[in-house]
A and B are shown apart, each in its own frame.
Chain A
Amino acid sequence: MTTLDDTEILLVEDNPNDVELTLRALQKQNLASKVFVVKDGAEALEFIFATGAFARRKMEHQPKVVLLDLKLPKVDGIEVLKRIKADERTRFTPVVVLTSSQEERDVVATYNLGVNSYIVKPVEFSNFVHAVSELGIYWGLLNKVPY
């Protein structure tokens, strides 16, 4: 786990199995050291906006990507996305929804809110690991952010 301000990937995921799988896949790409994990939407917002438990974080150090589950305790993923994209200071931060929901309603709603990408979690283990690796490479290395 990384120091707060070096975080390149913020993983917002409440399912411990998915967290472990995701970290393992990112480890393969040597990206695991740059990941910070939060378990619910409220914690995600505190991290992003450097408030509460994360008040000592520097807000201008935004991650290269936020991997956001939709079904989350406290504040759900759609609301987290809405707040990130509605704020001048954070709307540039790439947000990728990583969810088991294939519902058209969720897909359309998140694109309309400005999600950068929407990925349905593959059910099968090796496909999940592969998808996360691709994700890590894409947003960690290929995509360019304005900060």
Chain B
Amino acid sequence: MSDSEALDILLVEDNPNDAELTQRALKKVNLATQLAIVRDGAEALEYLLGDRPKPKVIFLDLKLPKIDGIEVLRRLRADARTRAVPVVVLTSSQEEKDISECYKLGVNSYVVKPVEFDKFYKAVGDLAIYWLILNKSPL
């Protein structure tokens, strides 16, 4: 993707299966979504804190190589350029500690990845429709 192209979703996900499933689910809802995928927290920060246009929404996993999702969220919220970008944590963690910490840092929404294939698929579709069609992004 070129640096100037508008981006709908930045997916921060190190698990290739989840990334592929997400991609397929997005295709299915037919939004012609401009999607970019980064595989770890360092890459996510590099992408978001650079000069590229900001995405309409970030789907952020928590357990990530190099820099974890919580730290990514913290840095995005601490930076005026990314403070307002909607961030949805999409994780398998149901731990109270993670949920509380994310809300404390200003996450927009926290969604637990459904374990079952069909439900995961449906959840990603619902997420995309919500954040790309219904929600108005500040950018």
Query: Contact check: which of B83, B126, B136 meets A142 at CB < 8 Å?
Result: B126
Q: Which residues of B contact A116 (CB under 8 A)?
A: 108-109
A54 proximal to B (CB < 8 A): no
B66 proximal to A (CB < 8 A): no
The answer to whether A137 touches B126, judged by C-beta atoms less than 8 angstroms apart, is: yes
Q: Looking at chain A's contact residues, is the secondary structure mostly helix, strand, loop, or mixed?
A: mixed
The answer to whether A117 touches B100, judged by C-beta atoms less than 8 angstroms apart, is: no
The answer to whether A146 touches B99, judged by C-beta atoms less than 8 angstroms apart, is: yes
The answer to whether A142 touches B104, judged by C-beta atoms less than 8 angstroms apart, is: no
A130, chain B: closest CB distance, angstroms:
9
- Give Cα A60 to B138, complex, Å: 31
Chain B interface residue count, CB cutoff 8 Å, equals 24
The answer to whether A118 touches B99, judged by C-beta atoms less than 8 angstroms apart, is: no
**A-contact bits for B90-113, CB 8 A (1 contact / 0 none):** 000010100110011010111110
The answer to whether A144 touches B111, judged by C-beta atoms less than 8 angstroms apart, is: yes
Q: Which residues of A contact B109 (CB under 8 A)?
A: 94, 116-117, 138, 143
Residue of B nearest to A88 (CB): B104
The answer to whether A131 touches B134, judged by C-beta atoms less than 8 angstroms apart, is: yes
- Give Cα A142 to B126, complex, Å: 9
Knowing that A94-B109, A112-B83, A146-B99 are A-B contacts, what are 4 other residue pairs whose CB atoms are under 8 Å apart, sorted by A's residue number?
A: A92-B103, A135-B134, A142-B123, A144-B111
Binding site for B on A (CB under 8 A): 91-92, 94, 102, 107-108, 111-112, 114, 116-120, 131, 134-135, 137-138, 142-146
